Amino acid sequence: MPSLKVISLGCSKNTVDSEVLSGNAEAAGWTLVAEDSSRPADVVVVNTCGFILDAKQESIDTVLEEVSRKHRRKRGKVVVMGCLVQRYGEQLRREIPDVDAWAGVNDLDAVLRSIFAQTGQEEEKRRKAPALDPFRRELTTPPHYAYLKVSEGCNRQCAFCAIPLIRGRHVSRKEEDIEKEARMLVERGVKELILVAQDLTYYGMDLYGERRIASLARRLCRIEGLHWLRLQYLYPHSFPEDLLEVMRSEPKVCRYVDIPLQHINTEVLRDMLRSATRDETLSLLGRLREALPDAAFRTTLITGFPTEDRERFEELKAFVAGFRFERLGVFAYSREEGTPAFSLGDPVSDEEKEARAQEIMDLQEEISLQRNRSRIGETCEVLVDRVEGEFYVGRTEYDSPEVDNEVLIRRDSADLEPGRFYPVRIVSAEAFDLYGELAEGTGTVKRYAGL
């Protein structure tokens, strides 16, 4: 059978697309080769990211590496798909002519047909293979958690963001289809579902004429065997109030508020087209903290936006120091052609952008260290993700995979199994890691107590 390797770059939404593509290829008789395997494959697919400069460069470097590998081995085909192709397809075709096929976004069936064509067996494969099934996935995450995409695209016009140019307008999936996929994943052993979208709080507006993320979350919480439901990318503007009640009352919903704010200065927010002022942002955060006092808050910020001078940056820095987010990430502004902010120029040097980002992260590191130290002595519910060196590596409900804190438990102290939950007592802490030991007996597993 022909073999396929899919290299997935960028966000978790790309991960889902790659998993669907792999699952359908496998169902059609292809042999899958792991992304990190050195084994050659008949066809290599690179699913690219086109969001910001660093992501675009990583995608281009990966494509060039796979083309070079193809020439060295004198075999195999390279197919490039995804956001970078959608945005720069014609230019890429001219500059990297040795790629065998190109495809954009939102048409995985066409990508699958293109893959089949690379082996010279397209007609035979078409006869054998059914149409692409969006529910068929080959998980690339550990088998106990999975990303679940609830919509495509975005109706927001944030001045710095190219996603609407690439992915198009917001398109929600039907609730029943999302539930069907969720049940299938849980039946396969998934214990944590992570809902992802470009704008999760907008879910349902195009289909039902109202925001339905709260009712969707309640519906998914009824699935037997699901333990955690995590909500990512909660856009702050017009935040649905009924979602607060769901997050407060449903025990399966992780106490985790992922709310990308980008800035706090009113003028910068206005220029970013973020539809909120400083006061409105602070009011929303206050309501969320009051409703969810035991939640961990995560945000992302941008430094070096064209209208961010030093005074406005200091306002942002003071905001971070005052609110004390549990989790925080920072991006240096990337000027993207076609976005509303492109016309503002790029007056802040790259060095200054990075220096400001580092100032924020240095501040956040100290905040995180203080918060983590306050957790010493707690007993928390921990999901073990993997074994790494001398440690079991896990997470609490306050941590999303790959981007947040981890809990490390020495392997010589307990016999644990990845994919299972354990009560773990926190015994020491670093800025972005907790160290724990298996709690004796059942004990009392507390929710976040470090606030």
Question: CA 168: distance to chain centroid?
Answer: 18
List per-residue pLDDT tens for the chain, 451 residues long: 899 999 999 999 999 999 999 999 999 999 999 998 988 899 999 999 988 888 999 999 999 999 999 999 888 999 999 999 999 999 999 999 999 999 998 889 989 998 888 877 655 555 555 688 999 999 999 999 999 999 999 999 899 999 999 999 999 999 999 999 999 999 999 999 999 999 999 999 999 999 999 999 999 999 999 999 999 999 998 889 899 999 999 999 999 999 999 999 999 999 999 989 999 999 999 999 999 999 999 999 999 999 999 999 999 999 999 999 999 999 999 999 999 999 999 999 999 999 999 999 999 999 999 999 999 999 999 999 999 999 999 999 999 999 999 999 999 999 999 999 999 999 999 999 999 999 976 444 444 333 2
Say how many residues make up the chain: 451
- Tell whether pTM > 0.85: yes
Backbone angles phi, psi at 179, to 5 degrees: -65, -40
Closest CA to 57 of 101, 10, 89, 98: 10
Q: Is 441 left (phi over 0), alpha (psi -120 to 50) or beta?
A: left
Closest CA to 306 of 262, 266, 344: 344
Using CA atoms, how far apart are residues 325 and 304, in angstroms rounded to an integer? Answer: 20
Burial class (CB in 10 A: 0-12, 13-18, 19+), 351: exposed
Bridge partners, residue 436, by sequence? 409, 426
Using CA atoms, how far apart are residues 43 and 25, in angstroms rounded to an integer? Answer: 11
Q: What is the DSSP string of 314-372?
A: HHHHHHHHHH--SEEEEEE----TTSGGGGG---S-HHHHHHHHHHHHHHHHHHHHHHH
Structural contact between residues 18 and 8, judged by C-beta atoms closer than 8 angstroms: yes
Using CA atoms, how far apart are residues 281 and 275, in angstroms rounded to an integer? Answer: 10
Backbone angles phi, psi at 11, to 5 degrees: -85, 175
